[in-house]
Amino acid sequence: MATRGFTGRPREPEQRDRVPPGQHLVDYFPVLTAGPTPHIATESWKFTLKVGPRPVKTWTWAEFNALPMTKMVRDIHCVTTWSLLDTTWEGVLIDDLLADAFIEPPTKFLLAHSYDGYSTNVPADDLLTGKAMIALKYGGKPLERDHGGPARLLVPHLYFWKSAKWINGLQFTERDEAGFWELRGYHIYGDPWKEQRYTDD
């Protein structure tokens, strides 16, 4: 007997090393959204990079798609305890985005902002040196709307709530400012290997 999508304990030793404490493996990609799923037409889609309140650069969908594209294969871990191995993504590394805007990180922290009003904070170091991207494709196809299409943040080494769906901007902030879930009891950083699920973990 097996429940769909629940594969439980990893069977292979190689997989066991890849599942953080308190997590179990799933074999499909669950959808988790706090509110209604927004419709964003690529014709009106825009992405803005800000330093504090000051916009530094805005890209249209066409401009964004002309940036260097990178592929990533990563394991992802949701705070609700599911983990999915070997997910395949394609998009623009945050390094390449900053290079296109000709800026070096002016502060140590960022907030990601989304079309649905969602936000989440990530230290700049966690978005750079190939660690994170704005993903436009999943599994070789345009990112589905449920999973954040047209574009989402992907920060695979942190719990998946940090990977903001329907992203429309990144903002450098002076201080580490809590985002949507961080204000509602989730951990300010969210390392799955340290089980940083809730504020005081």
Ligand X SMILES: Nc1nc2c(c(=O)[nH]1)N[C@H]1C(S)=C(S)[C@@H](COP(=O)(O)O)O[C@H]1N2
Binders in 48-107 for ligand X, by CB under 6 A: 78
Annotate each residue in 63-102 with x if it binds Mo ion (CB under 5 A) or - if it does not, as one string: ---------------xx-----------------------
Task: Give, in order, the Cα–Cα distances in Å from 6 to each of 13, 23, 29, 33, 83.
Answer: 18, 11, 11, 20, 10
Distance CA 119, CA 1 (A): 40
Q: CB burial class (10 A; 0-12, 13-18, 19+) of residue 103?
A: middle
Q: Is 31 in the site for Mo ion (CB under 5 A)?
A: no
Binders in 161-180 for Mo ion, by CB under 5 A: 161
Contact partner at residue 109 from Mo ion, ligand X, none, CB < 5 to 8 Å by partner kind: none
Smallest separation, CB 179 to ligand X (Å): 10
Q: Is 183 in the site for ligand X (CB under 6 A)?
A: no
Interface with Mo ion by CB under 5 A: which range of 4-12, 34-42, 68-76, 155-163? Answer: 155-163
> Residue 6's CB: how many other CB atoms inside 10 A?
12
Distance CA 131, CA 76 (A): 13
Q: Residue 183: what are its φ and ψ, rounded to 5°?
A: -75, -15
Q: Which residues bind ligand X (CB under 6 A)?
A: 30-34, 78, 114, 116, 118, 147-148, 160-161, 163-166
